Every structure is written in C-alpha cells, then in structure tokens.
Amino acid sequence: MKLSFLSLASGSSGNCYYLGTPEYGILIDAGIGIRTIKKVLKDHDLDFNKIVAVLVTHDHADHIKTVGYLGEKIGIPIYSTEGVHRGIQKSRYVEECITTSKRIIEKEVPFMIRDFQITAFEVPHDSTDSVGYFIEYGAHRFTFATDVGHITDTVGRYICQANHLILEANYDEEMLRFGSYPPFLKERVASSTGHLSNREAAEFIATHYTPDLKDIWLCHLSRDNNHPELAYKTLDIRFFEEGIRVGKDVNLTPLKRTTPSDLYEFE
C-alpha cells in the first residue's frame, strides 16, 4: 500500500509527525494543539479517525502537549518507554493523566502496530528518558532521531539503516556562539545531551552515506540559532565534498518549524 509522511510542526514550539497508509496512521510526538492536528490532517486529506497510535520520543513540553488528550479523551494508545511515561505523568504541560491508553515499550525490542514494525532506540538528551524510532514497512525504513545531543553508536546504527531519515539539525555553531542566548543556555544546547548542530548532522551523514538513503528531512531547527537555507547549505556543501549530489543521489529538505511540510508519498 501507499505510504505517506507529513511533518505537522518541527521546532521548539511544537513537534508532530504523521506516517500512514490509506488504512491507518500513527503520530510521532504530539506537541501541538488538537485543533491544529485535526486541521492539518484534514487539509492533506488524511483522516484523523484513522490514527491508531502515538509514539512519544521524550517528555519535553514541545513533544507531549496533546498526548494526554489523544490518549484519555480519544482513546488512542500512547507508546513510549516507562521512563518517558514517568516524565509525562510529572509534566505540568499534560492535563490528562495517561492511564488506560498507556503502552510501555522497551528500547531495541521490536513491536508491531498493524503492518509497521517499530524499534525504539536510545537517544542522548536531557529529558527523563529519550528515544528515536526505526519504523519498517515493506521495503521502507524510516528513522526518526530528534533532540539528539550527539550521535552515539546506537543512533548511528539506526541512521545508517534508513531509506528515509528525519534527523535533527538544530543550530548553526556560529549563530549559537555569537547569539543572544545566555551562557548557560548556549552550553546546554551544545552539550552532549543537548541538540545536534548542522555541522554534526552533515559530517555524520556525509561520511556514512549509502545509495540506500533516499530522503533526508532536517528537523527541530532553532528559531534563534539557525535558518532553513543555512542548514540546507551546510549539508549540501559537505555532501558535495564526498561526491554526493543533493537532488540526484539524495533528497534534502529542512522542515518548517510551525507550518506543515508537503505530503510525501511512497509506493
């Protein structure tokens, strides 16, 4: 069946991604309002009522704002690790306590949601717990890795398996260094449990690229320390140095922070 991918929002104001078939879909994170989720899906001819699960990466507010409502008011199962669920329960940003909709998963133990085989994997970030997701459907392999302090061996292993990669490119190092953030926040962003820079994303993918990788979407771009054009250019230049041609060998798209992406469809 046809497979569809959509970014509803990707940034510090809120994160939410859709992956689905004509029969059902899942959300990865739900850090934007329920009305926005419904409107964006409707605008792209996607049926909100066919959402069968929400996968949560970690418990920061911009990823979990609506998970309580989706789980307890609508009855959609909310999947994540015990640690992430513990963080959600303590969060002041989630009004509904997740009980009946709570689904516990373990890192690197594959599980099924309909035809999707899903594996959560450890991601270094300064949250209660944090995971990325590797989702297999037929010949398609999606890797979601957002809020990545640095690329560990584990994160790298799942990046290298992807046909379709959603990877953080949060900040430009020069913009962060000379920007308006206070020193403690600059240190937090650039730390090994903070966020991934354009340069770090570019360097890893350029040196680990294989022709199996078809699509890259850069996610969670900073409002203050990055620009979509700059993120794109950083990867494009580094790829060119390795003989990788953006637009021919691989597609590269920086995702918008507060507005939806195009709808991407795959056979």
Position 229 scores a pLDDT of 97
Strands 51-55 and 131-137: unpaired
Query: Does 12 score more than 90 pLDDT?
Result: no
Side-chain half-sphere exposure of 164, counting CA atoms within 13 A: 18
Burial of 42 (0-12, 13-18, 19+ CB in 10 A): exposed
Report the alpha-carbon distance of residue 22 to residue 46 in Å, rounded. 8
Q: Could you tell me the pLDDT band of residue 1, with boundaries at 50, 70 and 90?
A: confident
Confidence of residue 184 (pLDDT cuts 50, 70, 90): very high
Dihedral sign for Cα 136, 137, 142, 145, please: negative
Residue 175 has pLDDT above 90, yes or no: yes
**Angle, in degrees to the nearest 10, between helices 198-208 and 228-241:** 30
For tokens 């580094």, name the residue. Answer: 238
In sequence order, the 6+-apart residues with CB closer than 8 A to the CB of 222 are 11, 12, 170, 171, 176, 189, 195
What pLDDT does 15 receive? 97
**pLDDT category, 68, cuts 50, 70, 90?**
very high
- Average pLDDT value for residue range 252-262: 96
Query: Amino acid identity, residue 239?
Result: F
**Would the pTM of this model clear 0.85, i.e. be above it?**
yes
Its sign, for the CA torsion 101, 261, 211, 148, is negative
Predicted confidence band of residue 161 (pLDDT cuts 50, 70, 90): very high
Residue 122 has pLDDT above 90, yes or no: yes
Average pLDDT over residues 184-208: 97
- pLDDT of residue 157 exceeding 90, the answer is yes
Give the burial class of 266: count Cβ atoms within 10 A of its Cβ; 0-12 exposed, 13-18 middle, 19 or more buried: middle
pLDDT digits (tens, 9 = 90+) for 18-40: 999 999 999 999 999 999 999 99
Average pLDDT, stretch 247-265?
97
What is the model's pLDDT at position 77? 98
- Sheet architecture: strand order including 251-254: 111-113, 116-122, 131-137, 140-145, 164-168, 215-219, 251-254
- Residues in a beta bridge with 55: 28, 79
Confidence (pLDDT) at 209: 98
Measured CA to CA, the distance from residue 125 to residue 214 in angstroms comes to: 27
Cβ neighbours for 11, distance < 8 A, ≥ 6 positions apart = 62, 220, 221, 222, 223, 256, 257, 258
- CA dist., res. 36 & res. 109, Å (int): 32
* Residue 165, pLDDT score: 98
Rounded mean pLDDT of the chain?
97
d(CA 88, CA 27): 17
In percent, the amount of the chain with pLDDT more than 70 equals 100
